[in-house]
């Protein structure tokens, strides 16, 4: 047996492992902090509903993890992981200083600042008096609540952000000249399958004799307090009353009773203002044939999105919206359009046309296809990719 001297090199002996390297924390910038200022419909449609879905699918593996908060977070360990901070329609003058603080923190933590809005707040020459076609119309209660200081603050905040997102091309074009070169991105509204479902409406087997109709415009579209007809200052108001009194339709009214429907109060079903989570359930329960959204022409309405159209399509209903002709309307892409100057007889003819069984069924099916093809479902890959690219 060979005895090996301790000083003799042993060939084939394993190389000792290198000393361990110091451990470093692996930080992944995957958080989107969503500062939601509007807890009603807009805040849900633009932030809460889509980001809750994204977090439920992508948050577990930490690919993309949005979270909703009503407070401004400046905690360093959270900012270190944040890829974006979203401000949803912040417009308080006090928030200007908050954005300045975030701009300073941005130098260290390298997050993106994003601002989102989905309604027109400003009017051309509004601060010099304006006119009835610009800014928030007087029948909308926000016209008394959004001050000139708030409107100016919103623009100041936007200018400090890296990108602005908005819900329509019209709003994008409108705000771009006001924000000193800050990029503006169009981010369309969507409807979640997880709320509306994918169950298709069974086809009608006969012509519809007495259509179930939903008037789904909230009290922001008229004013009970000021007794202003607002977006019902047209033939639709008279048609609703006439059709109910003659028992031609079954009418469901969303958002409470308009003052001009007092005479038909006992003959219609009234729903008080519903949350974004309650609304789909009630719509599915009603199962209307038609969802009607009258508008009058003004800058504010031209800026609005077609959210009521896509909600109706997701529900298997036929949306009918007003088009203006000489200016954009959110319902220019509707399958069924109502001209702004339509009269009661014209409305009767329009409704009768689309109660024909085969035509009604074909429009309902086309509505489902549009939602799929145009990425109007929140779960659509095209919409998720757009969110990922912006934030």
- Per-residue pLDDT tens over the stretch 241-268: 999 999 999 999 999 999 999 999 999 9
Residue 352: domain span: 193-373
In a domain, 5, yes or no: no
* 171 shares its domain with 237: no
pLDDT at 19 over 70: no
* 175 shares its domain with 314: no
In a domain, 160, yes or no: yes
Nearest CA among 42, 182, 180 for reference residue 115: 182
pLDDT at 115 over 60: yes
Percentage, residues of the chain above pLDDT 90: 79
State the pLDDT at residue 22.
47
Mean pLDDT of 265-278: 93
pLDDT at 10 over 70: no
Residue 341: Cβ within 10 Å count: 11
Report residue 135 as tokens.
């800014």
Residue 109: Cβ within 10 Å count: 17
In a domain, 72, yes or no: yes
Report residue 4 as tokens.
């090996």
Q: Between vectors from CA 189 to CA 230 and to CA 106, what angle results, nearest 5°?
A: 115
Mean pLDDT of 188-195: 97
User: Which residues 6+ apart lie within 8 Å of 331 measured at CB?
Assistant: 293, 295, 306, 309, 319, 321, 322, 323, 337
Cβ atoms 222, 262 nearer than 8 A: no
* 250 shares its domain with 326: yes
Instruction: Specify the CATH number for the domain of residue 208.
Output: 3.40.50.2000
Report residue 27 as tokens.
């930080």
State the pLDDT at residue 13.
54
Q: How far apart are CA 275 and CA 40, in angstroms?
A: 7
Mean pLDDT of 129-138: 64
Q: How far apart are CA 137 and CA 229, in angstroms?
A: 12
Task: Give 22 or 194, the one with higher predicted confidence.
Answer: 194
Least confident of 17-21, 237-241, 283-287: 17-21
User: Which residues 6+ apart lie within 8 Å of 170 measured at CB?
Assistant: 302, 303, 328
pLDDT band at 12 (very low <50, low <70, confident <90, very high): low
Give the mean pLDDT of the chain.
90
Q: How far apart are CA 150 and CA 318, in angstroms?
A: 38
In a domain, 26, yes or no: no
* 84 shares its domain with 156: yes
Nearest CA among 34, 260, 320, 263 for reference residue 139: 260
- pLDDT tens, residue by residue, 314-363: 999 999 999 999 999 999 999 999 999 999 999 999 999 999 999 999 99
* 221 shares its domain with 202: yes
pLDDT band at 133 (very low <50, low <70, confident <90, very high): very low
In a domain, 100, yes or no: yes
Mean pLDDT of 142-157: 92
Nearest CA among 321, 311, 257 for reference residue 284: 311
Mean pLDDT of 207-230: 96
In a domain, 12, yes or no: no
* 174 shares its domain with 239: no
Task: Give 193 or 125, the one with higher predicted confidence.
Answer: 193
In a domain, 25, yes or no: no
If you search the block for the tokens 């304006």, which residue do you land on?
A: 130
In a domain, 24, yes or no: no
Number of domains the chain contains: 2
pLDDT band at 70 (very low <50, low <70, confident <90, very high): confident
pLDDT band at 301 (very low <50, low <70, confident <90, very high): very high
Report residue 381 as tokens.
């890959």
Q: How far apart are CA 196 and CA 198, in angstroms?
A: 7
Instruction: Specify the CATH number for the domain of residue 54.
Output: 3.40.50
φ, ψ dihedrals at 133, nearest 5°: -95, 0
Percentage, residues of the chain above pLDDT 70: 91
pTM: 0.89
Task: Give 75 or 126, the one with higher predicted confidence.
Answer: 75
pLDDT band at 27 (very low <50, low <70, confident <90, very high): low
* 182 shares its domain with 247: no
- Cross-strand bridge partners of residue 117: 166
């Amino acid at each position: 047996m060979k005895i090996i001297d301790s000083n003799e090199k042993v060939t084939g002996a394993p190389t000792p492992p290198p000393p361990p390297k110091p451990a470093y924390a692996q930080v992944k910038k995957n958080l989107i902090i969503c500062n939601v200022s509007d807890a009603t419909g807009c805040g849900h449609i633009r932030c809460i509903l889509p980001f809750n879905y994204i977090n439920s699918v992508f948050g577990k593996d930490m690919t993309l993890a949005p979270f909703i908060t009503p407070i401004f977070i400046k905690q360093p360990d959270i900012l270190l992981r944040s890829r974006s901070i979203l401000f949803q329609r912040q417009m308080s003058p006090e928030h200007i200083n908050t954005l300045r603080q975030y701009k300073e923190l941005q130098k260290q933590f390298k997050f993106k600042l994003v601002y989102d809005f989905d309604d027109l707040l400003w009017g051309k020459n509004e601060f010099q008096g304006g006119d009835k076609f610009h800014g928030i119309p007087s029948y909308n209660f926000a016209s008394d609540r959004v001050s000139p200081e708030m409107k100016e603050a919103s623009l100041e905040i936007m200018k400090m952000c890296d990108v602005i997102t908005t819900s329509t091309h019209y709003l994008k074009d409108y705000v771009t000249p006001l924000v000193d070169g800050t990029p503006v991105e169009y981010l369309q509204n969507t409807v979640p399958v997880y709320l509306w479902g994918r169950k298709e409406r069974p086809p009608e087997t006969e012509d519809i004799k007495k259509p179930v109709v939903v008037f789904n415009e909230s009290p922001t579209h008229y004013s009970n307090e000021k007794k202003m007809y607002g977006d019902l200052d047209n033939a639709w108001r008279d048609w609703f009353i006439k059709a109910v009194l003659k028992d031609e339709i079954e009418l469901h009214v969303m958002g409470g009773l308009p003052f001009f429907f007092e005479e038909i109060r006992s003959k219609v079903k009234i729903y008080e203002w519903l949350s974004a989570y309650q609304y789909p359930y009630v719509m599915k329960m009603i199962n209307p044939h038609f969802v009607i959204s009258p508008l009058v022409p003004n800058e504010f309405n031209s800026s609005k999105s077609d959210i009521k159209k896509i909600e109706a399509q997701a529900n298997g209903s036929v949306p009918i919206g007003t088009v203006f002709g000489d200016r954009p309307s959110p319902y220019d892409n509707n399958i069924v359009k109502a001209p702004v100057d339509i009269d009661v007889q014209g409305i009767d003819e329009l409704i009768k046309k689309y109660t024909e069984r085969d035509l009604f069924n074909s429009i309902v099916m086309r509505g489902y296809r549009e939602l799929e093809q145009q990425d109007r479902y929140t779960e659509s890959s095209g919409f998720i990719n757009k969110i990922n690219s912006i934030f």
